[in-house]
Each structure stands twice: as structure tokens, then as C-alpha cells.
Structure 1
Amino acid sequence: MKKIYLLLLFISVVSCKDDLKIIDKPIEFGELREQLTLEYMESHYGIVQDSPTIEPKMVVIHWTAIPTLEKSFGAFVNTKIGDHRTKINTASQLNVSSQFLVDLDGTIYRLMPENVMARHVIGLNHCAIGIENVGGTASKPLTEKQLEANIKLVTYLKNKYEIDYVIGHYEYTNFENHELWLEKDNGYRTVKTDPGKDFLMKVKNATKSLEFKEVPVK
């Protein structure tokens, strides 16, 4: 993991196909975060591995409900979750995070390697790449630039990995009883509305040619 992050620090900007630019902005990911991630994988999913890598099967789109990039980044950067996250901090001390963070102007930041597990969606972290979008509140709604960036990023990820689903965070419980659902704690659930149905449907409609599978009906 340390070698991965040293590499990320030297490669600050990555240009991809379709005029996609990704800027690396690494969160903390030292030995403690790796340990907590491995413990989470075992306790919640029954997965025992030497490295917290994943085989991505879905992309989950979120909003941060935080108005700025730096404050949003600040919510993810630390290894341990804050005491104020009372609904989820009893499930693990591993902080929430995602692989990507998209600013209001559409700039895409990669917070950690794409194939390393981030804690962003109950039951599915072991197979999901997360895209967090700054904002999502009445005063800071998601923007057209973010929509364009999400469409490009989802396309990039689909072309790189065997991604079957693109979903909104609010759809995650539809996967209960699905083969991808591994959550062992039946009492561990939260109600989500991000990234909003309108935003999500625009991403899905723009990526129909990628032939994602339909989200299970609950």
C-alpha cells in the first residue's frame, strides 16, 4: 500500500481517453487504515485477504452534502471515523471514503487506488467504486459540470473494469439478497437519498450504450 501511495504522489495528474483528466489527491492510507479496512472486510463480509483490494462490479454515486471541496476532502482524509458519525461509527472505526471526489466545477480527484476498498456503501464496499460529489444541498446543488464529469468517469471505469451496475447510494438496499450483498450485520442500515433521482437518471440515460444491468427491484 505504501508503494502505491508513493506512486500516486509522484503522478499528480493523469489524462485518460475521452478528454478525461483525473487529479490524484490521496487521503491517508497507511498501515492503520489498511488494517482497519481488512478488519472491516472480515467482520462485515467474511472476506479474509492479505491486501484490501477489490474486483469492482459496480459504481455507486454519492453526494457529500458538504458545500466545498476541501471540507468534503476533510471528511475522508483521516484514517479513523469521527465521534460525530454516531449512526455508523459503532460498526467500525474505519473512516468513510471513496475512490473519487468530484468538485462543483467538474474537476475529478482520485482519493485512493480504484481497486482498493473504500467505506462508502453498506453491504457492497467489497465490489464497489465510489464517486462522491461535492454539495448536494439546497444551497449547493449538484452541477451540470459534475454531471458531465460523472458520465465520463463512469464510462472510463466501465471500459477499465467488468462493471455490471451503476447505482445511486439510495438504491443500495435493493441489493439485499443479491449475490453481491455480503453484509453480515442485519441491523446495520442507513437511509440515503444521494445523489438524487434526477441526477442519477441523467447519468444512467447518458450511459445506456454501456449496457449496465438493471438494479434489482426490492
Structure 2
Amino acid sequence: MKFYLPLLALGILFVSCGTTKSIIDKPIIFNKEREILTLEYLSKRYGLEKDTPEIIPKMIVLHWTVIPTLEKSFAAFNNPSLPNWRPDIKDVSGLNVSSQFMVDRDGTIYRLMPETTMARHVIGLNHCAIGVENVGGDKDQPLTKAQLKSNIWLVRYLADKYPIEYLIGHYEYTLFENHPLWLEKDDGYRTKKTDPGTAFMKKVRKNVIDLKFKELPK
């Protein structure tokens, strides 16, 4: 299955909303194993029976990796299956975590997966969400101004391409539990998140207010 055009690997420049930025393709492994695991995830967790792992993006979710380098962050996502996966445990998905994008600390934007292929990065909403991971994020390596600028640009780039309705931080995902977009079947499957921080989200939102995303559920 081919997901990438050869030219994209060269880091083609994109122009959106009056700014120019480069997106560099750095694909994680998306082989037959990952495709099968993704389709199983869509089926078991969301009740979606699909022939391909494609999504229609309606949401952008911003994250941090709390891993200090691009190389280590990439390595955490690269393998198709979770390193500690036990397939004998019922109803536990072995699909590794991932995201469509990763932003390094210098602001360089990497595309890890096609924008319309499902990545596992947010409970309940992966079927409609594009994930943006930011390298770092712990107290010793707070997110940078360069990352902030790149996130703002990337949000605009994606909103220009897709019918994006919501922009959220990972810590806000549970607000959607009673929303039509929420499809997680397991009421006990939740994790507490703080990424990418309230201050970071406030700054991103302030700079894309003109895009008029929908308000988050109360």
C-alpha cells in the first residue's frame, strides 16, 4: 500500500494563509501489520468496519511527547505494535501509539503518517482526529516559541485542507464523552492527560481565532 508521493520526501514547501513553511516526510513503519492492527482498533474500539484505515479529519489534537529528542520520540512511535503487547489479553489492542505529525524543538515539522490515515493518539476520537506531537514538554524542556509558531502554522494548513471543526489539547479530550464524535466503547478506558499545557493551547487558540473553530462541549 503506497501512502507517500515521492516528491513529498523532498520536503516540498507549502503555502497557506500567507505563510510559507516546510513539512518534511519522516514516515514511521506502516506495513501490513500496522494496517491490520489499525483496522482492528477501528472495529473493536469504535464499531467501525472499514476496508482501509482512512479518516475524515474533523479535529486537531495537540500533544507533547515528554521525550527529550526527536530521535527518541520517533523511535517510540515507529514500531507497528506496542513493545509490551500481550495478544492473549482479551480486548487489548496491540496497535502502537502514533500521530500524523511531530514538531521538533527547533520548529521543524515532520509528517510521520498520511494526514488521513488513523493514528492512535487520543482515546475515543482517533477516527476523526489529526494528532500533532511536540518533542519535549517536561519541566526541564518546556515547549519552545519555535514549536508554538509551527503549531499555529500547521493548524492553519490543516484547517485549509480539511473540514476541521475542533482544535483541542490532549488534556481536553474527555469533554467529548457525550458528543456524537465520541465512539469509545469501553467506559473504563480513560487516561489523565495534561499535554500540551493550558498556556500553550491558549496561545495557539489566540493566534487562530479567525478560523472560528467550534466551542468545546461543556
Smaller-chain TM-score bracket: over 0.9
* Residue matched to 1:13: 11
* Residue matched to 2:127: 126
| Kept after mapping to 2: 8 A contact 1:8/1:24 | no
* Residue matched to 2:150: 149
Question: What 5-or-longer segments of structure 1 have no aligned partner?
Answer: none
- Matched to 1:13, the amino acid is G
Please list, as runs of the form range in 1=range in 2, the aligned pairs for 1:33-52 lying within 5 A after superposition: 33-52=34-53
Question: CA 1:195 to 1:8, structure 2 compared with 1: closer, same or farther past 3 Å?
Answer: farther
Alpha-carbon separation, structure 2, partners of 1:185 and 1:8:
40
| Kept after mapping to 1: 8 A contact 2:166/2:213 | yes
SS at match of 2:216: coil
SS at match of 1:4: coil
Alpha-carbon separation, structure 2, partners of 1:60 and 1:112:
15
User: What's the CA shift string for 1:70-91, capped at 9, x where partnerless?
Assistant: 000011001011229xxxx973
* Residue matched to 2:3: 4
| Identity %, equivalent residues | 61
User: What's the CA shift string for 1:102-155, capped at 9, x where partnerless?
Assistant: 000000000000000000000000000000000001111100000000000000
| Kept after mapping to 2: 8 A contact 1:66/1:134 | yes
Supply the RMSD in Å over aligned alpha carbons: 1.6
* Residue matched to 1:29: 30
SS at match of 1:167: strand
SS at match of 1:19: strand
* Residue matched to 2:79: 78
| Kept after mapping to 1: 8 A contact 2:8/2:25 | no
Q: TM-score, normalised by structure 1?
A: 0.94
| Kept after mapping to 2: 8 A contact 1:169/1:192 | yes
Runs of 4+ in structure 1 off by over 6 angstroms are none
Alpha-carbon offset, residue 39 of structure 1: 0.2
* Residue matched to 2:58: 57
